[in-house]
Amino acid sequence: MKEISLSLLDAFLASLLFLAISVPQAVVSQESAPPTVTNGKRVFNRSCSACHDTSGVTAKSGPELKNYYRRQPRPADATVRAIIQQGKGKMPAFNTLSKAQTGDLVAYLKTL
């Protein structure tokens, strides 16, 4: 009976050790998750689509963003993030967007 109790205790301790190692990794992974195009599209539709078009067909008050990252010279990510966060010309600042949302938006713009 003592052998069974010891092996159960060993299994329990091993499980605790596994959790202690894996949980911090999961938290770090969520904090440093790469930008996602899907989230960026959601941000675009909610915050940008009223003024910017991505189809190349509709004329809206803001510039067309289709092929934005294919322009020469190619815009730097930091410049695009600054424009989003601080605004430029008639475009208002979107400083309520988090860094993650801004990164997701930049990732989406690169796919257009």
- Are 100 and 45 in the same domain? yes
pLDDT of residue 108: 95
Q: Are residues 45 and 97 in the same domain?
A: yes
Q: Using an 8 Å Cβ cutoff, are 60 and 51 in contact? A: yes
User: Total structural domains in the chain?
Assistant: 2
Same domain for 101 and 76: yes
Average pLDDT over residues 84-109: 96
17 with 47, same domain? no
- CATH code, 51: 1.10.760.10
Question: Tell me, what's the pLDDT at 25?
Answer: 46
d(CA 92, CA 85): 9
Q: Is the pLDDT of residue 31 over 80?
A: no
Tell me the per-residue pLDDT of 37-70, one tens digit each, with 9 for 90 and over: 999 999 999 999 999 998 888 778 999 999 999 9
Distance CA 112, CA 75 (A): 14
- Bigger pLDDT: 91 or 33? 91
Full domain range(s) for residue 102? 37-109
Residues 26 and 45 in one domain: no
What's the pTM?
A: 0.67
